[in-house]
Structure 1
Amino acid sequence: MQIKVLSVSEVNSYIKRIITADPILYNIRVKGEISNYKLHSSGHIYFTLKDESSRIRCVMFKTNSEALKFNIEEGMKVNIKGYVSIYERDGQYQLYVNEIEPSGIGSLYKAFQQLKERLSKEGLFDQERKKPIPFLPKKIGIVTSPTGSVIRDILSVIDRRFPKVEILLYPVPVQGENAAKKIAYSLKLANENTGIDLLIVCRGGGSIEELWPFNEEVVARAISESKIPVISAVGHETDFTIADFAADLRAPTPSAAAELSVPDYKELVECLSSRQERLVSLMNSKIFNLKDKLNHFKNSYPMKYPYQPIHNYRQQLDRNIEDIIRAIENKKRNNKEYLLHMGERLNSLSPLSVLGRGYSLATTEDGEILNSIDMVKPEDSINVTVKDGKIYCRVSEVLKEDKGIEKEEV
C-alpha cells in the first residue's frame, strides 16, 4: 500500500480535525496562572496559561472578552473554560477561551474588588468629597424601579415621618444589561432639576448579579459628580456596592434611607415645642433679672439724687477757684517783695546812690566817664553830675598828682 504524501497544510488540517473531534478537548476546563498577557487593538486577548512545569498558549476573542466583568492581570490564577484547537498557519495548538473566572473567587466579586480599588486610589470615595445631607429637604428625587415594594416602602416611610415633602420619582430598571447606563442618566437628569435637595438611589435585595448595575463605574461616577447629595440604599444591610462607597451617605436598606432622608414630624414638633418652652422660660427669667436690676438701679443713690454729683463738682470747683486766687495773690505778693528787694540791691549799686552820699560824676562832652586827667586838657568842657542836677564846667588847669616815691631806709 502506497502512502500518500501530504502537504503541511493538510497535516495541520488533519490534526485539527482530530483534536476538535475529541470530546474532552472540545469542552475543557483548565486552571493555571496568567502569563505574557496582551490585549490587542482588535479587542482579542492573548496570553499564556502556565503551572509549575508546563504552559499553553491561549486566545480569547473580542466577542467573549467583552463579557468579562473584571480585568485580567499578569500572574492572576484563573479557571478557564474553552476548547483546544490548532492554529493551522503556525502549526501550533492553543486553548481558545470562552470564559474566565478568578481561581477561588467569583468573576463578579473580582471585578468589584478591582473597580473599588481603582476608584479609591482616584479619591472617589474620600470623605472630603462627601456632601452633607440636608436636615429637612423640600423635594427628594428617588432613582429606582417604579414597580415593586421598594418605592412603596420609601413613600410610606416618608409619608409617615414628614408628609409635607415633595417626592419626584425617576423610574429606572435596577437590574439587567442596560440598567447601569439608565441609572447614571437619571442621576444626571435629576441634577438638572434645581429644585431637588436630595437624591436616593435604591433597590431591594438580590444576588450579586442582580445588584451588579450598582457596581458599574458609570453609576459610581454619576453619583460622585452629582451636585445634589446622594443616599445609596442597595440590597440588604450586609450588601455593599460601589454605589454605596461613592454616595454621600450609605443606608443599610431603602426603608432606612427614607428614615435618614427626613426627620420625624411628630418628634420635630415635640422638640420645637420643648425648645419653645425652654426659650420662653429663659426669656422670662432674663426679663425678671433685668427688671430686678432696673428696680435696684432706680432706688440707687445716683438715681434718687442725680444732681448731687453736680453740686459736689460745683463746690469742688469753687474751692479750686479760691485756691487758684489765693495762689495768685501769694505769687504776686512774693514777686512784689522780691522786686522791692532786688530794687534796693540795684539802688545800692546805682551811681545815683553814690551821688546821694556827696559824690559827683564827671564826664566828657561825649559822655565818657572822666577817670583820668589824660582825658582832658585846659579849656575842655566837662559835665559834673551831682545828686540834684548837672554842672557844666570848663577846665582851666590840669594838675597831675604826685604820688611820691618812698625811699628805702639804709
Structure 2
Amino acid sequence: MPDKPSSYGQQNSGFSASPSDEISSGFTRAPDGIYPDHSTPSDTRGLPEKQVLTVSQLNRQARQLLESRFALAVVEGEISNLSTPGSGHLYFSLKDENSQVRCAMFRNRAGLLAFRPKNGDKVQLHAKVSLYEGRGDFQLIAETMEEQGRGALIRAFEALKFKLKEEGLFDRSRKKPLPPIPDVIGLVTSPTGAAIRDMLIVLKRRFPLAEVVLYPAVVQGSEAPDSIARAIELAHIHGKSDLLIIGRGGGSLEDLWAFNDERVARAISASFIPTVSAVGHETDITIADYVADYRAPTPSAAAEQVSPDLSQWQQWLNQSEITLRRQMERQLQNNQQRLDHLEHRYQRCFSGLRQQGKQLNQLEQRLVQGMKNRLFREQQQLDKVAGKLRHPKTELNQQRQQLNSLQQQLIRAGKQQTQQAGQQLEQLEARLWRANPSREIKSQHSQLQKLQQALQKAWQHQLEGQQQKLAELSHRLQTVSPLATLSRGYAIVQDDKGNIVRHYQEVSQGDEISARLATGVLHCKVMAQDADN
C-alpha cells in the first residue's frame, strides 16, 4: 500500500448521482452515457454523441459519488494486512467471513488511538467511504477506531469519571500523604496472581522490616467490585495497616474493569488509610488511579515507592557515622585548642586578679563608708524637713493640751474666786449677824447676787475668750498646714530624685516628676515648659 495518495482529502467537485438514475432493467445509466455491461445500443442513429471520459476522470467522479452518497459509516471487522510506514499513517484491510475492504487511517487520527492495533484485532471504525483514484481501489478512510466491544466500556468509563470528578473525589485536597516509613503495609489483591508475588519480592528485598498483611480479593469478573470493596473495609476493621496497595497485574480493559467500578472508587475514596492504586501496566488508567491518594504504574513499582530501601539506609547510616566521627574529632580538637588558650589566659589574668581583688576591697570599703556618710547626711536633712513639716495632728494635739490646761486654770481660778467670795460672804454674814441690820442684809444680799452674776459673766467671758483663742490657733494651724494647702487644689512637685521643684527651669522636657496631692501621688512626664505670663 503506497503512502498517502494525493487525492485524499480533496473536496467534492459537485458531481453526484441520485437514486433516480437507477433503471429497473438491471443496469445503471450514468450521466456520461457509459453502460456497465460495456455494450452499446444496436442502433445509435439519431442519438447525440456521448462524452468520452479518461480513467482519472472516471475514478474522480466515482470517488465523488461514493463520498456524497455515504455519510460517516460505522463498520465492524477484523484487521489484516496491517502496514505502519514511517509516515505515521495506518494501512490495513478490514474483513469478515465473506468480504474485505481496504482501509487507511492518517497520522493525525492514528495518533489519538488509545491502543496499538495489530492483525487479528476486531475493531469498530467510524469511516468515510471513498475511492483511491490512483488505482481505482474502493476503500474506507477511518476517523476513529475502537476495539470491538470496547466502545461501550469507554463511554461508561468517561461517564463515571465525569460524575466522580464533579463530586470532587479526584480533588488534590483529598489526597492523604503516604507514610515515609510504614510499619505495616496492606495489600488488597488476589492471593494467587503474579502481582502479589512481585510485590512481596520487592518488599522483602527493599524493606524486610515492614509487616505485610494480605486482604484477599477477587480482581476480575462480576464479583470483583464487591470483593475489593469488602477487602478495603476489612483493612479498616483490622485497623493495623499504615497504607494500602490496591491492584492487580496487567490485562485487557475488560480484565481491569473491576477497578473502574463505582463501588470500588467510593470505597477507596472513603478510606482513611492512605491508598496506592497499582493496576495493570503503566499505560493502563482506571478510575481507581484517579481516586487513590497515589498512583503507581505497576504493582512492583508501588512496592518500590512505598518502601524505603534498606541498603540505602544502611549506606546512609554508615556515611553518617563517619561524618559524625569526623565532626566530633574536629570539635574535640577545637575545644582542646580553646581550652589551652583559655588556660593560658587564666594564668596571665590570675596574677592580676589578686591585685584587682585588693583594689576591689578598698573600693568596697570606700563605697560602704561613703554610703554611710551619705545616709547620715540624708537622715539629718530628713529630720530637719520633718521638724519643719510637723504633722497637723501633732500640732492639734499640742493646742488641745494647751486648751485643756487653760480650761483647768480657768476652773481653778473660778473655784478660787468662788471660795474667796464665799469667804467674804461668810465674813459679811458674820458681820451681819453681828450688826443684824435688815437693810444692810438686803443690800449685802443684792451685792452678793451682783457679785455672783459678775463672777458668772467674768468666768463665761474668760471661757469664751479662751475658746476663741483656741479656734484662732486652730485656724492658724490649718492655714500653715501643707495638707490644707493641698486640699485647696495645690500639689507638692518633686523630681525623680525626690527634690522639691520650685521653678520651671529646675526640670527639662521629658523628665519624670511626681505631684503629691491631698490624697495620692501622680507620676508625670514634662511635655512642655512655660514661664509665668
* Separation of aligned partners in 2, 1:177 and 1:141: 24
Could you tell me the TM-score, scaled by structure 2's length?
A: 0.40
Match of 1:122 among 164, 167, 172: 167
The structural deviation recorded for 1:251 is: 0.6
- CA offsets, 1:10-42, max 9 Å, x none? xxxxxxxxxxxxxxxxxxxx999xxxxxxxxxx
Q: Where does the alignment leave 5 or more consecutive residues of structure 2 unmatched?
A: 1-71, 75-124, 126-145, 382-533
Higher helix share: 2
**Deviation of the 1:190 alpha carbon:** 0.6
Structure 1 stretches of 5 or more lacking a match? 1-29, 33-78, 80-100, 336-410
**Residues 58-77 of structure 1: CA deviation (Å, up to 9, x unaligned):** xxxxxxxxxxxxxxxxxxxx
1:229-308 matches, within 5 Å, as 229-301=274-346, 304-305=350-351, 306-308=353-355
> Which letter does structure 2 place at the counterpart of 1:304?
F
Measure, in 1, the Cα distance between the counterparts of 2:372 and 2:227.
102
User: Is residue 315 of structure 1 aligned with residue 362 of structure 2?
Assistant: yes
Q: Distance in 1 between matches of 2:356 and 2:293?
A: 68
Identity of aligned residues (%): 47
TM-score, normalised via structure 1 length: 0.51
Distance 2:281 2:331 in 1: 52
| AA of the residue aligned to 2:350 | K
Task: Call closer, same or farther: CA 1:221–1:328 in 2, change over 3 Å.
Answer: closer
Q: What's the CA shift string for 1:233-287, capped at 9, x where partnerless?
A: 1011011111111111111111101111211211111111111221222233233
Letter in 1 for 2:258: P
The structure 2 residue matched to 1:199, chosen from 244, 268, 271, is 244
Conserved in 2, the CA contact under 8 Å of 1:297 and 1:303? no
Match for 2:154: what amino acid?
Y
Q: Structure 1, residues 127-165: CA drift from partner, whole Å, max 9, x if none?
A: 222222122222211111111321111111111112232
Inter-partner Cα distance in structure 1 for 2:373 and 2:193: 108
Change in Cα spacing, 1:146 to 1:270, as seen in structure 2 (3 Å) is same
Residue pair 1:170, 1:186 contacting (<8 A) in 2 also: yes
Tell me if the contact between 2:193 and 2:248 (Cα under 8 Å) persists in the aligned partners.
Answer: no
Contact 2:276–2:292 (Cα < 8 Å) also in 1: yes
Shift of 1:177: 0.9
- Alpha-carbon distance in 2 for matches of 1:164, 1:322: 78
**Aligned counterpart, 1:140:** 185
- Matched to 1:208, the amino acid is L
Other-structure match for 2:216: 171
- Shift of the alpha carbon at 1:292? 2.7
After TM superposition, the structure 1 stretch with the greater mean CA deviation from structure 2, 225-234 or 285-294, is: 285-294
- Tell me the CA shift for residue 200 of structure 1: 0.7
2:237 aligned with 1:183: no
How far apart are residue 293 of structure 1 and its match?
A: 2.5
Tell me if structure 2 keeps the 8 A contact 1:202–1:233.
yes
Partners in 2 of 1:155 and 1:203 — Cα distance? 13
**Is it true that 1:216 corresponds to 2:261 in the alignment?**
yes
Q: Give the Cα separation in 1 of the matches to 2:354 and 2:171.
A: 71
Letter in 2 for 1:316: L
SS state at 1:299 partner? helix
Question: Higher strand proportion, which one?
Answer: 1
* Greater mean deviation of Cα atoms: 314-323 or 216-225: 314-323
Whole-angstrom distance in 1 between the partners of 2:166 and 2:328:
54
Query: The residue matched to 1:143 in structure 2 has which SS?
Result: strand
The letter of the residue matching 2:207 is: F
C-alpha contact 2:189 2:246 (8 A) present in aligned 1: yes
Cα distance change of structure 1 residues 322 and 186 upon mapping to structure 2, 3 Å threshold: closer
Aligned position for 2:407: none
Supply the RMSD in Å over aligned alpha carbons.
Answer: 3.5
- The 3-state SS of whatever aligns with 2:238 is coil
| Preserved CA contact (<8 Å) 1:198 1:230 | yes
Aligned length: 236
Q: Distance in 2 between matches of 1:147 and 1:321?
A: 96
Task: Write the letter of the residue equivalent to 1:246.
Answer: V
Check the 8 A contact 2:281/2:298 in 1, yes or no.
Answer: yes
CA shift at 1:180, angstroms? 0.8
Q: Distance in 2 between matches of 1:308 and 1:121?
A: 87
| SS of residue matched to 1:146 | coil
Higher relative contact order (CA 8 A, sep 6+): 1
User: How big is each residue's C-alpha offset from its partner over 1:167-211, in whole Å with a ceiling of 9 and x where there is no partner?
Assistant: 211221111112011101100111122221121111111111111
Q: Which residue, out of 182, 202, 214, partners 1:157?
A: 202
CA distance in 2, matches of 1:141, 1:327: 85
Q: Distance in 2 between matches of 1:268 and 1:327?
A: 74
**Aligned with 2:225: secondary structure?**
helix
